[in-house]
Amino acid sequence: MLDIKFIRENPETVKNACRVKGFDDHVDEILALDARVRELKTATQTMTAEKNRITREIPTASDKAPLIARSKEIGSEIAADMAELAEKEDAFNDLMHRVPQIPSESAPIGPDDASNVEVKRVGEPRKFDFTPRAQWDLLDMNNWWMPEKIGQICGTRTYALKGEAAELQLAIETYVIQKLIQKGFTFIECPAITKPETIFNAGHFMGADPSVMENDVFMLTGTDRCLAGTAEIILNSLHGGEVLNESDLPIKYAGFSPCFRKEAGAAGRDTRGLARFHQFNKVEQYIYCTPAQSDEMHEHILNNLCEVMEDLELPYRVIANSTGDMGFNKVKMNDVEAWVPSENGYKELGSCSSIGTFQARRTNTRYRANDGSMQFCATLNNTGIAVPRALVPVLENHQNPDGSVNIPKKLQPLMGGRTKIGGKH
């Protein structure tokens, strides 16, 4: 969320952020509520002081009745103002949680992904001298999955890899984790079970009512828990309520967890193959830093994912997401997309996001600056790798005419030295 002081001093900037991001503008209503809340707080404090003074005078007064009557009258006024204050504070709090983050001036302005801008392109799509197979055909012919059986057992949008494809998925996860550790990230295996307020504090949902999450989040009925959609959720609250030292920033985490999403808004999309499931695994890059370090850290974690694309020997491109496509809580966002032959186009494999102090204000994560002042941390996140989604371009780009798949060189040590899997043996 934003600082109310910033909104008071920059209302037009906030209004513009609502406009270019496509969210309702509540700025005038927020400012009116803010003024009334401050007025009521001052009034109740003044009346409480007067009531306390009268209470002290009553024991020694020769005529107590007028003082007692006035004390009761003030008490009624305080009660009425406190009731209105609670109502206004609830409304104020809800609207403050509906104000989007201010986008970077460098972000393309537009209502949706049609306004995204390609920043760079690396590698050329492979020119096959045979008809390439789609991922699902490679999985079928190599007996690397069992979609019908798993669908019967577990329901729709679930998957299970087996044999060499399962080994390859594990190798990809392990490789990325090791790479990030070598780059100074602390590896954390994160739980996927969490509390709803932890998800809410990540700032992906608007308003102050956590029930808004129920279309996207698996709630665990009969408990106060739910399933997290990404390790970012856990890592974001890891230092909640703490005061860090500026000298310790940036703090870099590589979180790994299973991820759970209802995908309620994705009906009919990516129903074939390995693209979209209720459960998947993801390695997440997450950083706490000072606001001044944020741009440098954004490039750092973006470059890490680009290096992973190159290590997997995939043609890819980087996209600057438009204001309307970057989401509620982001300052700026870059998608990294790999070439997928069966789709004759690029498919998103990770999103790099600068959040500014938006999340840290929700979790009250601060640092003591070198000058002694207390400041909110900036946070950033980016995919390290998400599977099985990443298997799609790996399988399709590295396939051979017999249905075998070449293993990228960086993964071969984790695959027992094998150079390829599948195909006719």
Q: Which amino acid is at 154?
A: C
Distances (CA, A) of 164 to 70, 206, 237, 410, 415: 83, 42, 37, 16, 9
> Catalytic pick from 337, 389, 396, 404?
389
396 sits in the region (left: phi over 0; alpha: psi -120 to 50; else beta) called alpha
Which three-class secondary structure state does DSSP give residue 413?
helix
CB distance 411 to 172 below 8 Å: yes
Give the Cα-Cα-Cα angle 142, 391, 341 (nearest 5 degrees): 90
Choose the catalytic residue: 8, 276, 368, 418.
Answer: 276
27-57 helix and 64-96 helix, angle to the nearest 10 degrees: 160
Contact 229, 214 (CB under 8 A): no
Active site residue: 98, 133, 261, 366, which one?
Answer: 261
Determine which one of 351, 353, 354, 404 is catalytic.
Answer: 351
Question: Measured between alpha carbons, how far is 298 from 253 in angstroms, rounded to an integer?
Answer: 14
Token pair for 87: 């109502």
Answer yes or no: are the C-beta atoms of 363 and 288 closer than 8 Å: no
Rounded to 5 degrees, φ, ψ at 111 are: -80, -20
* Element (DSSP H or E) covering residue 174: helix 163-182
Positive or negative, the Cα torsion across 392, 396, 399, 404? Answer: positive
Whether 38 is a known active-site residue: answer no
Coil, strand, or helix at residue 390?
A: coil
Catalytic residue status for 348: yes
Pairing of strands 243-245, 366-368: parallel
Q: Is 351 designated active site?
A: yes
H/E segment holding residue 334: strand 332-340
Q: Which residues belong to the active site? A: 261, 276, 348, 351, 389
